[in-house]
Chain A
């Protein structure tokens, strides 16, 4: 694995450079925004990457919590399977299709729902036991970094194009802000906690955050219908050439995120190994004299 890292790093560097070239040179200028819009190739992939990382954190946190007891572990697996099956089937029922917001195709929703069990079982298989928590820390930290990029590039983009730094009703930007806040508080909790069960507490917080996100989304969505706000980032369809560059940028960002996560993951594992070693040392340094006395039962 160690040899793979520099190869992957080199590949990612080239890929990122290529994506940058595409974004700045090859992609056509936007009809309305001119050259300024090119920040989208930085802003949107960061957002998608951040959301993916937070999603992984959420799955890892839930698994960490339910894996404590075998009964909840099994129950959770069944629940996830049911969600997957029901979600996919429901998307093709006409009643449910009528409820979907305009523009969302049922197959897209079905695929998204299917991702939940897929990720759940993949992560459970690849990261057994305590590694779930290491994964949670890693994805939270890297996710916050990418989320910060989104929140910084958003206003930078908005100012020259729409004349405002921020629109409180902009559903995407505001949801991202709340997500950022939740995960920063997650990281602060991890750092400030003295408890032996810090990992559990953090996992609980991640679950709370995940429950919160849809509520945030809906509350801002409704707020927007009552108080129409400018939509930063525009809606509508995209020139296929732009979409192509966007996707390539995203791939490059994912490679980069993967590299960073991998490094952080390895770092955390090493850190924990060192702590284990110290603990083992302190354990072994005790009195060894007891071996000779039959101490299991009382002397009388």
Chain B
């Protein structure tokens, strides 16, 4: 078994009186595909944001490759429900710009990455005019642009048609096989059945179960009803 690359130690995250994460402790190995499941308000997004360095834990510690998330930012790719893209620029322009944030060596990858998510790099339409599915895919492209070792994706398949979603899953599987560590929050767990190495179940701000398949020992229904 490979050594853990991500360590979450007793992380508590409070927003005023509300505790989004209540003492999460876990270790994650490299090169695995983790699906994070749970009801709304279980703390999945907060955990992902904490891993990305966007939310500072109120207490506890997160280590990615032995460093704090912000120090390890080059190795982290993050994608959320808002597209994190400029609506007024085309996809290619967006990616070229964000490539610059990570150092100019990534410019060549932009076209390649856009094609990898199934979009056309030549498209000059501004991202604001894309369909929701296209925007999600372009957002994914932005997240993987700098070839990060860890991918944190918050509901990447929402509002995406089944075919595109399957294509995205294929892409993620290939990346995982190439050695990337992937975390996906989703309500469409059945898309990841057989693909994900592990299903992490969260409830009320804690990890309550970690299973290798969608069936849980406690008899919980596999995946949420869509």
A and B touch in the complex (CB under 8 A): yes
Q: Which residues of A contact B207 (CB under 8 A)?
A: 290, 295
Count of A residues near B, CB < 8 Å? 18
Q: Are A290 and B32 in contact (CB under 8 A)?
A: no
Q: Mark A259-300, 1 if CB is under 8 A from B, else 0.
A: 000000000000000010011001101110110010111111
CA distance A293 to B217 in the complex (A): 11
Which of A196, A286, A293 counts the most B-chain CB atoms under 10 A from its CB? A286
- For B27, what are the chain A residues with a Cβ–Cβ distance below 8 Å? 296-297
Q: Given A295-B26, A298-B197, A300-B212, A287 and B206 touching (CB < 8 A)?
A: yes
Chain A residues with Cβ below 8 Å from B29 are: 297-298
Kindly identify, within residues 189 to 209 of chain A, every residue whose CB is under 8 Å from any CB belonging to chain B. Answer: 196
Q: Are B16 and A299 in contact (CB under 8 A)?
A: no
Q: How far is the CA of A290 from the CA of B27 in the complex (A)?
A: 15
In Å, the complex CA distance between A275 and B19 comes to 12
Contact of B204 among A196, A287, A293, A296 (CB under 8 A): A287
Total number of B residues with any Cβ neighbor in A under 8 Å: 30
Task: Give the shortest distance, in Å, between B222 (CB) and chain A (any CB).
Answer: 16
Contacts of A196 in B (CB 8 A): 15, 56
Instruction: Please judge, given known A-B contacts A296-B25, A300-B197, whether A278 and B208 are in contact too, CB under 8 Å.
Output: no
Please tell me if the beta carbons of B15 and A286 are within 8 angstroms of each other in the complex: no
B19 touches A296 (CB 8 A): no
B210 cross-chain contacts in A, Cβ below 8 A: 295, 298-299
Specify which of B17, B25, B198, B206 is in contact with A298 (CB 8 Å cutoff): B198
- Of chain B, the residue at the smallest CB distance from A278 is B17
Chief secondary structure at chain B's binding surface: strand
Contact B28 A282 (CB under 8 A): no
CB contacts (< 8 Å) of A279 on chain B: these are 14, 16-17, 19
Contacting A at CB under 8 A, from B1-40, are: 1, 4, 12, 14-19, 22-23, 25-29, 32
- Give Cα distance in the complex from A297 to B207, angstroms: 12
The majority secondary structure among interface residues of chain A is loop
Taking CB as reference atom, which chain B residue is nearest A283? B19
Contact status B212-A283, CB under 8 Å = no
Q: Check: B124 CB closer than 8 A to any chain A CB.
A: no
Given known contacts A283-B22, A300-B212, A275 and B16 CB-to-CB distance under 8 angstroms: yes
**Neighbouring A residues of B32 by C-beta, 8 Å:** 298
Q: How far is the CA of A287 from the CA of B24 in the complex (A)?
A: 12
Determine whether the beta carbon of B198 is less than 8 Å from that of A299: yes
Q: How far is the CA of A105 from the CA of B27 in the complex (A)?
A: 66
Given contacts A282-B17, A283-B14, contact A296 B26 (CB under 8 A): yes
Q: Name the one of B17, B22, B26 contacting A275, with C-beta atoms under 8 angstroms.
A: B17
User: What is the minimal beta-carbon distance from B31 to any residue of chain A, in angstroms?
Assistant: 11
Chain B residues 29-87 with CB under 8 Å of chain A are 29, 32, 56
Q: Among B18, B203, B211, which residue has its beta carbon within 8 angstroms of that of A282?
A: B18
Contacts of A300 in B (CB 8 A): 197-198, 212
Which chain A residue has the least Cβ–Cβ distance from B28?
Answer: A298
Q: From A288, which residue of chain B is reached at the shortest CB distance?
A: B206
Least Cβ–Cβ distance between B99 and chain A, in angstroms? 30
User: B18 → chain A, closest Cβ, in Å?
Assistant: 6
Shortest A71–chain B CB gap in Å is 15
> Is B122 positioned at the interface, with any CB of A under 8 Å from its CB?
no
- Residue among B4, B25, B206, B212 facing the most chain A CB atoms (10 A cut-off): B206
B211 and A283 contacting across the interface, CB-CB below 8 Å: no
CA distance A196 to B55 in the complex (A): 10
Q: Given the interface contacts A296-B25, A298-B29, A298-B197, does A290 sit within 8 Å of B19 by beta carbon?
A: no
13 contacts between A and B (CB under 8 A): A196-B56, A279-B17, A282-B14, A282-B18, A283-B22, A286-B19, A286-B204, A290-B206, A296-B25, A297-B1, A298-B28, A298-B29, A298-B210
Question: What 10 A-B pairs come out closest when comparing CB atoms?
Answer: A286-B22, A283-B19, A278-B17, A286-B204, A282-B19, A287-B204, A299-B212, A279-B14, A298-B198, A283-B22
